[in-house]
Amino acid sequence: MTSIVFMGTPAFSAPILTALVENGYDVQAVVTQPDRKVGRKHVLTPTPVKEVALKYDIEVLQPEKISGSPEMERVIELNPDFIVTAAFGQFLPTKLLKAAKIGAINTHASLLPKYRGGAPVHYAIMNGDAETGVSIMYMIKQMDAGDIISVAKTSILPTDNVGTMFDKLSLVGRDLLLATLPTLIDGTAKPVAQIEADATFSPNIQPAQEQLDFTRSAQQLDYHVRGLFPFPTAYMLLNGERTKVQGVSVVAESTSAEPGTVVKKTKHELWIAAGEHSILSIDQLQPAGKPKMSVTDFLNGNKAEFAEGDQVIF
């Protein structure tokens, strides 16, 4: 039986681990992030990958940092056929990569060499890409730069956001990995080197990127909101309050108002001028300290707080 040490943490990784177990692979151990406190009550919560591992009675290793840790030595001791990572979020030292008898491979949520790095799905949506996908690649010391073994593409729909795309890509990655592993085992896989000149990067999202810049067009803002939802989530300063923006749409009208101006406020609509004379409709939002709500509910509770002609700070 082919042995695997699996490394991953979020919900994206869980179906992939499940598929490995249920398709007969011997998952000797799972390496995942330590349990974290979640929510207002700070409940110590296991990662989605740990939950799967516990379900199948798999050994769980949870180092804060894998490099140089006792957990790394444990993986080396296991000497699996494969090390498989999926959204693990840490570099693996060469000593660890060499612990895999057949290979150490990564399930990366992008069409490499495009969007190497930690936030490929966010950038694909924020840049308005029509498609993305999953690449299975060999891991090397350089980030996401190893030879590509297999690729699967999928569309980004106008209604997709980071959450929906991760759900899709998790299943795409699961199926691609299951199709790829046998070719690595029997030696029929034909990896290809990445073209370095085509490489682009997707660094982790910084806090400054979360604030909407209304000098950009409404279409670009729509990409940006969907590219940051449900995490970390875009926001605007509305009447001085930091207000998360969770759903928007592009209005098929134009305006001469300065970007950031409230150009329409009714019981059910909140329109704000954006760049290139475009207009953005705010549809779902979350004021500080309050739950997510529709713009209708928000406007009902803030009838006198601001008016048409007011400026959103950007």
Residue pair 176/128 in contact (Cβ under 8 Å)? The answer is no
**Domain limits, CATH 3.40.50.170, in the chain:** 3-198
Q: What values do phi and psi take at 181, rounded to 5?
A: -55, -45
What is the model's pLDDT at position 40? 74
> Which fold does the domain 3-198 belong to in CATH?
Rossmann fold (3.40.50)
Q: The tokens 């509910």 sit on which residue?
A: 297
Q: The tokens 């729909």 sit on which residue?
A: 157
What is the model's pLDDT at position 38? 86
Residues tagged in the binding site annotation: 110-113
HSE at residue 161, side-chain half, CA atoms within 13 A, is 18
Q: What is the distance, to the nearest Å, from the Cα of residue 47 to the centroid of all Cα atoms in its chain?
A: 15
Q: The tokens 């799905």 sit on which residue?
A: 121
Element (H, E) at 48: helix 48-55
What is the model's pLDDT at position 279? 98
Q: What is the pLDDT of residues 74-91, one digit of tens each?
A: 999 999 999 999 999 888
Contacts with 72 (C-beta within 8 Å, 6 or more apart), sequence order: 63, 66, 93, 95, 96
Q: What is the pLDDT of residues 51-80, one digit of tens each?
A: 999 999 999 999 999 999 999 999 999 999
| Neighbour tally for 61: CB within 10 Å | 20
- Domain 207-311 part of CATH 3.30.465.10: no
Residue type, 108: H
**Domain limits, CATH 3.10.25.10, in the chain:** 207-311
Closest to 114 (Cα-Cα) out of 196, 197, 199, 191: 199
Contacts 24+ apart (CB under 8 A), 161-165: 161/125, 161/225, 161/226, 161/227, 161/229, 161/230, 162/121, 162/122, 162/125, 162/226, 162/227, 162/228, 162/229, 162/230, 162/231, 163/229, 163/230, 163/231, 165/121, 165/124, 165/125, 165/132
Give mean pLDDT, residues 261-271: 93
Residue pair 157/150 in contact (Cβ under 8 Å)? The answer is no
What is the model's pLDDT at position 47? 95
Residues tagged in the binding site annotation for (6S)-5,6,7,8-tetrahydrofolate: 110-113
Give mean pLDDT, residues 215-239: 95
- Supply the pTM of this predicted model: 0.93
Please state, in angstroms and rounded to a whole number, the distance separating the CA atoms of residues 261 and 54: 52
Residue type, 159: T
* The pair of three-digit structure tokens given for residue 31, joined into one six-digit string: 């390496």
Handedness of CA 51, 290, 234, 223 (dihedral sign): positive
Please state, in angstroms and rounded to a whole number, the distance separating the CA atoms of residues 57 and 72: 20
What is the model's pLDDT at position 314? 54
Q: What is the distance, to the nearest Å, from the Cα of residue 263 to the centroid of all Cα atoms in its chain?
A: 33
Average pLDDT of the chain, as a whole number: 95
Closest to 193 (Cα-Cα) out of 140, 145, 151, 135: 145
